[in-house]
Structure 1
Amino acid sequence: MNNPLFYAKIILFGEYGMIENSQGLVVPYSFYKGTLKFSDLDNDFEKKSNQSLEKYSNYLAELELPSDFKLNVDSFKNDIKKGLFFDSNIPQGYGVGSSGALVAAIFEKYSFTKRDPETISKDELKDLKKVFGQLESYFHGTSSGMDPLICYMNLPILIENKENVGKVSLPKEEVGKGAIFLIDSGITGETGPMIQIFFEKLKNEGFRKTLKEEFIRYNNACIEAFLKKDMNPFFRNMKKLSVWAYEHFRPMIPENIFNAWKKGLDSNAYYLKLCGSGGGGYILGFTKDYEKAEKMLDGFQKEVIYRF
């Protein structure tokens, strides 16, 4: 393919916790995608994208990358002059990896060393994640490299800890009553300020303690139960995770979602959690009975991403 597509990603579990060494489970989401293309730049979207790429190429020119991961920045700059832009329908500020897909597309096209995601070893994944972190930090000030890695690999990835990541298989989808779904908060969120709030909170010893002893425990238990398709312990821990986030991630929860979040906890009809850094964009929902949850969440735009 001349123009490979790079899909969005969804952090099912591990938002913020991964910064403090929790596990994470991240999956590609093919509803949104982006690809590098050439054009005459005769509309605003293409023009803006081309200008953004030019600024980014200056950042890349200054970046010191390991020799195995070096990019052909001269070729990238030449292509920008020829009208290169990133044609994407991935919404920005929605927690689904708009900058991750862009970084993955640039890396795939301009990396001197070509790789096949299917055959990448666990050690190489670790190195790739580190390099992607450097490449994406231009957009957020700091980056784990996780988003571009998922977009590049186009496979579900289990983050075991800060050091180790591996490919993983999700349980087979079934047409059951249960579902994982997205709720559109209707507003965009900015990753930088949200991460700033989180780091401020981390200065508080009580918050650090509850994050490590409760949030990370519930988060890891959810991942383990979900991958085993063990739904009773999954929903038990999912509720604890949702309660914890409702109490401790208040600034990250969009205001118009507060009541719906509480309604889910009070009724046990569904549980909500952040999708990415929060502040806006999507919120993730988990339910044993999607029909019931859908009625209770009337007025919100929803998209089912997984059935069980």
Structure 2
Amino acid sequence: MKGPLFYSKILLFGEYGIIRDSKGLSIPYNFYNGALKTEANPSDEAIKSNGNLKRFVTYLQTLQNDQPELVTFNIDVLKSDVEAGMYFDSSIPQGYGVGSSGALVAAIYDKYAQNKITVLENLTREKLLILKNVFSNMESFFHGKSSGLDPLNSYLSIPILINSKDNIEATGIPTQSLNGKGAVFLLDSGIVGETAPMVTIFMEKLKEEGFRKMLKSQFIKYTDACVENFLGGDMKSLFANTKKLSKVVLNNFKPMIPEQFHQLWQQGIDSNDYYLKLCGSGGGGYILGFTQDLEKAKSSLKGYSLEVVYQF
């Protein structure tokens, strides 16, 4: 047995900001994917995944008992499939900020949710918000607090524009130009990041008035501008605002940036060869890079592995 594929995602803009109502833009990233699977001779990895699924099923049962109006599952079928060894076969790296738990949540909802909202429906804003709320509750099992955006992106496999917490919409992004010089890329930090501790640090920082002010006057301002520039295809303004955003992140989100990347981050700002920003919650995993000249960025970041996500 093998279920349909669910893809990883990249939040191009909006990490942390969307908690405080900034804009955000999330796109599917088809390089990685995962599917529910059962096989006769499971690997150690499959057995471990199956163990995680057992705990997740217990959580989902509690969720539906507490909030039956939110979501109900074919829980008996789900339980028996998990007992029979079902696991999530995924190439999505965990702790890398590309939505490994989101794809799993989407796969479970797709197969076992009752009265589910399907991808083929006319996805009104109201339906998107219902889905986001269901996914937020489901994914909280993994992170403690989830916006629900990762599973939403994985489930629908279309770019999603976040205008604010209660205003999200499916969107189109400018067409890629595969021979374009500009690019968005992933830089592998080589370290696994954990979402929950990073979110805790952010929530603690929110208690400081200075940090809240900086978020509003700089971080959210530049994030919103980047989203608008990117969707409008205004690449000149996009790079000017990404540079400002990269500086603000380096100055105010240091705990979320692995220490050995602080200098590399600054080097990009000084040379204008590339600008780095957080991919997901940070703390490791991937770092997101923006460059107007991919070849230049590659030579500046020699020795690091770069994965191109989008070219223009």
TM-score class, shorter-chain normalisation, is: over 0.9
- Aligned-partner Cα distance in 2 for 1:121–1:2: 30
* Alignment-derived partner of residue 256 in structure 2: 252
- The residue type paired with residue 42 of structure 2 is D
Match of 1:170 in 2: 173
Which one is further off, 82-91 or 115-124? 115-124
How far is 1:65 from its partner?
Answer: 3.5
Q: State whether residues 191 and 277 of structure 1, in contact with CA within 8 Å, keep that contact through their aligned partners in structure 2.
A: yes
Aligned residue in 1 for 2:147: 144
Matched, 1:157 2:160: yes
Identify which of 78, 83, 86 aligns with 1:84. Answer: 86
TM-score calculated relative to the size of structure 2: 0.96
Aligned AA for 2:55? K
SS at match of 1:196: helix
Q: Does 1:39 align with 2:42?
A: no
- Corresponding residue of 2:3: 3
Distance 1:66 1:160, change over 3 A: farther
Q: Distance in 1 between matches of 2:120 and 2:233?
A: 25
Deviation at 1:48, TM superposition (A): 0.6
Give 1:195 shift.
0.4
Question: Which segment is superposed worse, 65-74 or 39-48?
Answer: 65-74
Please state how far the C-alpha of 1:3 moved relative to its aligned partner. Answer: 1.5
Stretches of structure 1 that go unaligned for 5 or more consecutive residues are none
C-alpha displacement of 1:43: 1.7
Among residues 191, 195, 199, which one is paired with 1:195 in the alignment? 199
Could you state the TM-score of these two structures normalised by the residue count of structure 1? 0.97
Measured against aligned partners, the alpha-carbon deviations of 1:129-152 in whole angstroms (never above 9, x if no partner) come to 011110000101111111111111
Kindly report which structure 2 residues correspond to 1:272-291, keeping only aligned pairs within 5 A, or say none.
Answer: 272-291=276-295
1:49-72, Cα deviation, whole Å (9 max, x unpaired): 111111111111111345363111
Matched position secondary structure for 2:60: helix
Distance 1:29 1:93, change over 3 A: same
Q: How much identity, in percent, do the aligned residues show? A: 55
* TM-fit CA distance, 1:116: 2.6
Aligned equivalents of 2:41 and 2:47: distance in 1? 5
SS in 2 for 1:160: strand
2:17 is matched with 17
Which amino acid is the alignment partner of residue 167 of structure 1? A
Match of 1:72 among 57, 71, 74: 74
Match of 1:87, as an amino acid?
D
The answer to whether structure 1 residue 241 and structure 2 residue 239 are counterparts is no
Deviates more, 1:14-23 or 1:113-122: 113-122
Deviation at 1:41, TM superposition (A): 4.9
Contact 2:184 2:310 survives alignment (8 Å): yes
Q: Among 125, 128, 140, which residue is 1:125 paired with? A: 128
Q: Secondary structure at the match of 2:40?
A: coil
User: Equivalent residue of 2:158, what SS?
Assistant: coil
Q: Which residue of 2 aligns with 1:111?
A: 113
Once residues 205 and 255 of structure 2 are traced to their aligned partners in structure 1, the CA distance between those partners, rounded to angstroms, is 11
5+ long unaligned stretches in structure 2:
none
Q: Which amino acid aligns with 1:22?
A: S
Separation (CA, whole Å) in 1 of partners of 2:2 and 2:181: 40
Give the AA of the match of 1:276.
G
1:224 aligns with 228
- Quote the offset at 1:83 in angstroms: 1.4
